[in-house]
Structure 1
Amino acid sequence: MHNKLKQSALLGKVRNVAAGIGFMSVVAITTAAGAITLNPDLREAVFFSEPVQALFAKQIDMLSDGSANAEMTQTNVSSPSESTDVGNGLGRNLVPIKFNAIDPSRPLSAGQRQIAQYLAKRYRVSQDAVESIVKLAYKVGRDEKIDPTLILAIVGVESSYNPFAASSVGAKGLMQVMPKIHKDKFEELSPGDWSALNPEMNMRVGAQIIKEYTRRTGSVKSALRWYVGAAVSGSDGGYPEKVLGLKAILDARFKQGRLVAQSRSSDKVSAAELKSRDS
């Protein structure tokens, strides 16, 4: 009987220690999360750390290498309890198969490569990830009939090329689109199967919004004021100038890349002509 009491007391102490460890773990995790949330420098250090950037690049590259296909097959919902919360962009199905259409075999042009290199350096984001986004912007720009460098500039100002960015007011993704406000556009793209965090869907809806605002207001600058909510708040905080300033840089980089490529091509032709003459 005495031994049983001793064993019971020992087990009680073990349970108390385990509970204490569990409590301390929760406190530690909560404290760390709070520190990351409240400290912009620490939050930036975590986001731009090597492991997080590697995950970021892997997620973006799913758009170009077709690896999303198998995952999408496994995530098809079969019951109401497993349904995707498309209205809030919180579903598991972030890359619907119909929006996995970037051609990985098609390289960037010289101008596009210059843009990607500039953006990767400016925003300290994986070069591979940025190249995928640049390809996507040119694809969406062509389809939606909107300047791709305008799209890329809005992405830079809005999310700093973080496709999983979310604001306190509910804006999500690369172009910080409000899914609750623009649900109709997402539904039109992919009825019943969409996510505001899917890069292509987010970019397509963002492009449609800025195109619509440009048509309504008569200028891109005014459209950008609407895009940032100045039509309601009255103050744009210099947002149009930031976007158009970045667009001007990207346009210059694109032109520079084309000129360099043309110069190299001309040099090759000249060298070939000289060699032909010598022979």
Structure 2
Amino acid sequence: MQTKILKRTYRDAFNIPLFLLAGAGITQLHQSTPIESADYLLVIDSAENGTAAAASSQIQKVKVLTNFIQDKFNISQSKASTIVAEAFRNGIKRDLQPELILAVIAVESTFREKAVSSVGARGLMQVDPTAHPKKVKSIGGLRALYDPKKNISVGTHILAQYLNLSAGNLRRTLLRYNGSLGDSRSRYPEKVLRVYNQMRNTAKLGEQFRVAQLERSSQKSLDSTG
């Protein structure tokens, strides 16, 4: 029942087609301007625990971050929406902030899924197959690292493990991820955290805009009934 209520609420709030995968926490969303074979994949709280307000907030956050990445990194909307969706989905799964995942991608590969480093790290999150052979094998080997979804899945798994190993210390986590733990000169954490904060601020502004729109809409309704 709640799944049906949420589905109807999404349509009413955004006037866009939406298909909710019950209990899976994943929705497909078409913008008002159709994008061929590039549906938005939005990740929200699970349907049984979610509320219309929380879902509305998540949808706005995903849209704002998608637009931000598309513009700043000059990539297609379909690519940006897929990457943001995977960051949200894996963020929920691994208890990581999606903005942090996106910031790591920005610094590691500037959102180039075919990127290869001088030491052989591959894909969006620059996963090193020699350092994580079992994880790479589990997704299908080296070639699979060029698949955005599989790369983000493995990369976030590694990031979450390093966060746990670092007892929640984000700077040490990022140094481990970059392979520069012990290098006092490394500025890698600062680079990631700068982008991370930029994305968080962008998402926050988007949320403030959404709330303001809702308040204006509510006020108009009151005025019309008064």
Residue in 2 that maps onto 1:104: 28
Match for residue 240 of structure 1 among 176, 181, 189 = 189
Residue in 1 that maps onto 2:147: 198
Tell me: CA distance 1:269–1:115, structure 2 relative to 1, closer, same or farther (3 Å).
Answer: same
Percent of residue pairs bearing the same amino acid type: 28
| Structure number with bigger Rg | 1
Per-residue deviation, 1:145: 1.6
Residue in 1 that maps onto 2:163: 214
Higher relative contact order (CA 8 A, sep 6+): 1
Per-residue deviation, 1:126: 1.5
Per-residue deviation, 1:186: 3.1
Mapped to 1, the partners of 2:142 and 2:71 lie a distance apart of 34
- Provide Cα deviations, 1:149-168, integer angstroms capped at 9, x if missing partner: 11000000000011111112
The answer as to whether partners of 2:172 and 2:181 remain within 8 angstroms in 1 is no
Residue in 2 that maps onto 1:168: 118
Mapped to 2, the partners of 1:273 and 1:184 lie a distance apart of 60
Unaligned runs of 5+ in 1: 1-100
Count of aligned pairs: 175
- Superposition pairs for residues 62-211 of structure 1, below 5 Å? 103-105=27-29, 107=40, 109-188=59-138, 190=139, 195-211=144-160
Tell me: CA distance 1:175–1:115, structure 2 relative to 1, closer, same or farther (3 Å).
Answer: same
The answer as to whether partners of 2:66 and 2:81 remain within 8 angstroms in 1 is yes
Runs of 4+ with >6 A deviation: 191-194
- Provide Cα deviations, 1:177-217, integer angstroms capped at 9, x if missing partner: 012321212344x4679711111111111111111111112
**Greater fraction helix:** 1
Unaligned runs of 5+ in 2: 1-24, 31-39, 43-58
Q: Which amino acid aligns with 1:186?
A: V
SS of structure 2 residue aligned to 1:195? helix
Per-residue deviation, 1:104: 3.2
Tell me: CA distance 1:204–1:117, structure 2 relative to 1, closer, same or farther (3 Å).
Answer: same
Per-residue deviation, 1:274: 0.9
